[in-house]
Copies of this chain bind each other. A is one copy, B any other.
């Protein structure tokens, strides 16, 4: 069955079931706008993403379920990166009329599986036809107490640079997606692909960091460690030195690099979409921060320091060299 067989109202009805709607959703899908009751003394956080077929996902390489799941991960990472908790989602869909209903069903199943891990509810959206690539617009809303908001730009010289998990896994998976590589170890290939196609949402990582009161600046690693750290520094007229031996490289990336004679360090430094938090932490509270992340089951890696001298540097075996700000630029 195709979307054109069911019509706009039919497709919306198909996807607008939410049995466990919490009481602060006053009106969900089905009216002119959704209505929510914001938490007392909370700030509202909001972010949106466009996911476009052949730019963000390739239908022959990923499943609709994974597209939905990863969309939630990307959205949650933004809210966590501000120190907030994700709550609500609006989904805009632009679909060619011949799109199979199964695509919509699976896309929603992926979103809902990820949502249910994060207690996110879909409260609205829009659906339209198009003559182009499938385009998905995700708007996520969350909340945080006013004193828990962490900006991207607020690092101070001497801050420790922290990441909340291993890096390079998503880039390793992307290598398999984009190239015809034969990997005899099927389980390894599958794990690497999952890192790229179905990354886990960084639930609670940013909000736990914000709650310590020891974080001066935070973002999520969506572009790449170098690019995101570079941006954090440039806007604050600061720099950073990171230490090669402290960068947590995803074991999947290391294994795949061995099989392909490629460099896992490059994936960790310049690869995107690991969706871990990147934070600048007051060094006096490093132990507290480590403990707070440990309590929610998150890794905690201190990989370098913020410097008053601008520029991004990497220290390896006692020698220090400059890092370029590689990364991915749409339109670039």
- Which A residues fall within an 8 A CB radius of B? 3-9, 11, 26-27, 30-38, 42-50, 52-56, 77-79, 81-82, 84, 88, 90, 92-94, 97, 123-133, 135, 137, 139-142, 144, 146, 149, 151-153, 218-220, 329-332
Please determine whether B125 and A48 come into contact, CB atoms closer than 8 angstroms. yes
A6 to B82, CA, bound (A): 27
Closest chain B residue, CB of each to CB of A139: B139
The 6 tightest CB contacts between A and B, nearest first, are A132-B132, A137-B137, A33-B47, A32-B81, A38-B38, A8-B330
Please determine whether A7 and B132 come into contact, CB atoms closer than 8 angstroms. no
- A37 with B43, Cβ < 8 A, contacts A8-B329, A130-B133, A330-B128 known: yes
Please determine whether A48 and B332 come into contact, CB atoms closer than 8 angstroms. no
| Residue with the greatest number of chain B CB neighbours at <10 A, chosen from A3, A47, A93, A133 | A47
17 new A-B contacts at CB < 8 Å, known A30-B152, A33-B46, A130-B135: A3-B331, A4-B331, A8-B330, A31-B153, A33-B47, A33-B78, A33-B81, A33-B82, A33-B140, A38-B42, A38-B44, A48-B124, A97-B331, A128-B330, A129-B330, A129-B331, A132-B133
Please determine whether A46 and B123 come into contact, CB atoms closer than 8 angstroms. yes
Picked from B35, B47, B127, B330, the residue with its CB within 8 Å of the CB of A127 is B330
A26 to B331, CA, bound (A): 29
Closest chain B residue, CB of each to CB of A56: B128
Please determine whether A36 and B44 come into contact, CB atoms closer than 8 angstroms. yes
- A52 with B329, Cβ < 8 A, contacts A32-B219, A46-B141 known: no
- A126 with B48, Cβ < 8 A, contacts A3-B331, A8-B331, A139-B90 known: yes
Closest chain B residue, CB of each to CB of A77: B32
Closest chain B residue, CB of each to CB of A123: B46
Provide 15 A-B residue pairs closer than 8 Å at the C-beta atoms, listed in order of the A residue. Answer: A4-B331, A7-B331, A7-B332, A8-B330, A32-B82, A35-B43, A35-B44, A35-B144, A44-B44, A46-B141, A50-B93, A50-B127, A52-B128, A56-B128, A132-B132
- A46 with B94, Cβ < 8 A, contacts A55-B129, A130-B135, A331-B7 known: no
A27 to B150, CA, bound (A): 10
